[in-house]
Amino acid sequence: MGVAELWVSGGEPFTRRDLPVILRHANSKGISISVNTNLTAIPVEALLTQSLGAVDELDISFNGMETVRAANIANEQREATVLERIRYLVSRRDEKKHKARILVKCTICRDNQDDLLSLYERVESLGVDGMAFQHLSFLTESLYQQHLACLSAAGLEDCGSWASFSRGLHEMMPTRLPEVHRQLETIRSRSHRAGIWFCVHPQLAAADLHRYYSEEDFCAFTGCTWPTHGLTIDPFGNVSVCGWPHLGNVRDKRLCDMWRSKVLQDFQQGLRRERLYPACLRCCLDYESKRY
């Protein structure tokens, strides 16, 4: 198939014991590998010795600062542990013990909306290669039902993953949007001076940021290229494009046959014809695919 990149995410992928074997096999085929992790599932030394030699990019999920206000000792200790593990991995990268770029990713939500700049300052001091912030990928119940109806009319089956998961996230939406925007612009300026790669998914002006969270039919972009170059495989082997449509299972079908299937072709044609499906309005996959 000519696979160029493998992006491993979760849940927490390092709870899978055979993940190092998968990563080393993909690396032996010349595939670029990115892994998303919260750094809490395995000892960081094991991560370094078993996996990082095969990984090109380590994306560390760290929404961090809400734990400070939680007055929960266990959570505060976890935050300190993650920061210390990031520091350790950066030092080992500088010593040429691994090749992975180290990026920190933060999802903006109600609990951390006032702490984005403080979070960046902590991360910057660790010497990471970059930091990305992402606005919530959420769906209201009405938008979710519109999405299911649209798929049904097109004869497509929803895998029940991303769209279903995102239904309740609107309750976590940030409320102080001008402050969020001010912090992100400050971080953009500071990261540029510090030579740290920085991005926001999606990148929105202040007025559009308000519309993103308040207007159900607001769309931050006009199209998506993800279905033309990416597939998603869940832990059970089910294959989809981005949570829908369902293309089959790798235990029963060859991946190349699913990639060339009529179901996927119909989905791609529908996306070109209708431009976007309802759930696409709050999905950041296309932004992820354009980050470099």
Ordered DSSP codes for 202-219? S---HHHHHHHHH-TT--
Cα separation, 262 vs 268, in Å, equals 10
Do 200 and 137 meet the contact criterion of CB atoms below 8 Å apart? no
pLDDT at position 67 is 44
Look at the chain and count its residues. 292
For the segment 56-73, what is each residue's pLDDT rounded down to a tens digit? 999 999 986 544 444 444
Ordered DSSP codes for 65-97? THHHHTT-HHHHHHHHHHHHHHHHHHHHHHTTS
**Torsion of the alpha carbons at 281, 284, 286 and 290, rounded to the nearest 10:** 140
Which strands make up the sheet holding 130-135, listed edge to edge? 5-8, 32-37, 57-61, 101-108, 130-135, 197-201
* Whole-prediction pTM: 0.85
Residues 207, 212, 218, 221: is their CA dihedral positive or negative? positive
What average pLDDT does this structure show over 201-220? 87
For the segment 93-126, what is each residue's pLDDT rounded down to a tens digit? 999 999 999 999 998 988 889 999 999 999 999 9
Collect contacts of 9-15 with beta carbons under 8 A, ≥24 apart: 9/35, 9/36, 10/36, 10/37, 11/235, 12/37, 12/38, 12/40, 12/41, 13/37, 14/41, 14/42, 14/47, 14/51, 15/41
- What are the tokens at 182? 């001010």
Residues 206, 208, 210, 213: is their CA dihedral positive or negative? negative
Burial class (CB in 10 A: 0-12, 13-18, 19+), 71: exposed
For the segment 150-202, what is each residue's pLDDT rounded down to a tens digit? 878 877 766 555 555 566 666 788 999 999 999 999 999 999 999 999 999 88
